[in-house]
Every structure is written in C-alpha cells, then in structure tokens.
Amino acid sequence: MPASRSGKRRGQSNPDVTRRKKEAWVASGGPQRAKERLKKITTRDEPTSYPGDLIGVRSGIKVRKIIAANYPGVNAATLPNVTPTGRYFVPLPAGMAPCPGHPPYLAMRFDCIVNEATQQRLLNAWTHLNTTPVVFPKPNARHGNRSGTPALHLGVWETYQSTPFVTLDTRQKDASAATAIDALLSIVGEDIAPRLMRLLKVECPVQYERQLLAYDRVKSLLQSEFECRPALDFQGAFFAVAVKEGSSEIIHLDFHDFKHSITWIVPLGDWEGGEFCIPQLGIKIPVHAGQVLGAMTGVFAHCSAPVTQGYRVILTLFSENCLVKHGTA
C-alpha cells in the first residue's frame, strides 16, 4: 500500500487524532446523546409474572398439555405482535429476585446485527451444502415434536456425557459435506459470534463470564479438534448451531439448552410470517432478516408462526446444558 506525504500508509488511523476525537466527543456529551438515541428505539415489555409453569417438565407432550390447559385459545394466530423494529426487551417481572445466574432478560431482540453481505454469504453456503451428499438426521419422535423440516445440529455439545464432543451431524463421512459445513460455520464464527459476544457482555454480564468459563474447558479438551477444524470455535459465544429451512411450528421447550443461558435466533432469507411465539408471555415477536433474537428457550415454551410466503433459513445458536454445567461447576 503506498504511503502518503506524512509517511503513513493510506487508511491507517493516527492514534493521537483518534484519541483527541474521542475526548472531544465525550466532552461534548456524546455518550449521553448515544444513550438517548438508544432509548428512543428501545421498547421494554415487562411481564406481570414469571413463566415458570414448565420448570422441571421433560416431556414435549406434557409441555403442550400444560400450555393448552393454562393458556386456552392462545396460539400463533391469536397472539399479538410486538413492535417489529427497534431494540425489544422482556425483562424479569418487577420485584422478582431471580436465582443467582439468571439473565436479566427473558428475551431481547436487536436490529442491524447481521449485514446483507453476511446474510447472502450464509444463504450461499447453505445452498452449496445442500448440493453435497450431506446426511440429515433421520426423523424421530423428538424432532417430529417440533417441525416438519429436518435440522442439522453442528458444533460441540455434551449431551448425557462427561466431556464435550463434536456432534454426529458435524462429523459427515463425505469430505465435501464436511468442507461445506466448515464454510458455513466459519461465516457464523467470524461475522456473527463476536457481535453476539459483545451484546452478551453489555446486557448479560454474568452469562458472558459463564460462557467464557465453559469455553476455557471446551477449548482445552477439544484442542486437537479445534486445530483440525477451526470453524468449530465460536470463542464461547455459543457452542452449537442448529440450521434448517422453514420454522419450528409446534410448541416446545429446548430441553438440552442450558436454562440460564441465552439462545440466539438468526433468520435469513426473504419471507413473511415466522414470528417467535411465547404463549406464557402472551406475545409474538417478529424477527426479520438482519435482526437477532436472544431468548431463554429452555425456560418458556415457544414456537414459530408458519412462514406464509417466501423462503427462510433459521440459525439457532445455543449452549448445551451439560457442557455449560460442567464448565462452570
């Protein structure tokens, strides 16, 4: 890169100039103005009670029976939409003293997290993956309780084990499928994971520190796997990615997610419908392309409204229960 007359390379910032600009911005009230702008685009929707009527339930059938009994007539069609744009937060009910380690929010949505270029790269990577001999898991009762379309569960978890391991869906026998999976996960890790980690640090600092503790353990135990396949390393923001087309239309709990962690939902494509439905809170949250939704999907029942038009791919970024527990014990 050619140097300018000052001897600096073009595009290289001057630390002294940057420092003076920051000091001037702070002195002029810049941080307060930024807070006021954020406040204008932020909605806080405080629930009247905590959605704890499913704590301890471990059956999808029982989840649906309880929801049907406790919230009769409540479904994707009858739930009201919350505001479709801006930052949206569902905090804990007023006066509630949460147990240690509980996130301050039940759900939170953010705008402009995944730019259009990244969205397109992810869609292209997903399309390419489906041209390979990739093997999807066979339908079973657990997956059938959520959706009619199959999902790949990629990355690392520790389900019913004492140490973390790479998921079976990630360990494809076909080399071209494995390479395509790594290409997809690399985009997630490079373009999305750092942004979500920053959000977690600001909004849920306890969860942020817990993710780092779990990450230290996972990285030490799976060092060789991460060296061979660096795309599996999400720097602790989450440890696994579920990816599928369409939506999960059947009400369910994510039993394998760590209950006090934040699971992230990242939609891609051009579609109508597919809102995130929470009957226990009486709301339906639109999540559009570019937005991300963080939610305690292991605590409250949820589903997606049907996608009525267009094409949607959904990424669910999560941390499995045993993996986080063993990493922070």
Instruction: Write down the pLDDT at residue 178.
Output: 98
**How far apart, in whole angstroms, are the C-alpha atoms of residue 157 and residue 76?**
31
What single DSSP character describes residue 319?
-
| Amino acid identity at 37 | R
Instruction: Write down the pLDDT at residue 147.
Output: 67
Instruction: Write down the pLDDT at residue 304.
Output: 96
Instruction: Write down the pLDDT at residue 4.
Output: 47
Instruction: Write down the pLDDT at residue 32.
Output: 78
Instruction: Write down the pLDDT at residue 299.
Output: 94
pLDDT tens track of the chain, all 329 residues? 454 444 555 556 788 888 888 878 778 877 777 677 777 889 999 999 999 999 999 999 999 999 999 999 999 999 999 999 999 999 999 887 668 889 999 999 999 999 999 999 999 999 999 999 999 998 764 444 566 789 999 999 999 899 999 999 999 999 999 999 999 999 999 999 999 999 999 999 999 999 999 999 999 999 999 999 999 999 999 999 999 999 899 999 999 999 999 999 999 999 999 999 999 999 999 999 999 999 999 999 999 999 999 999 999 999 999 999 999 87
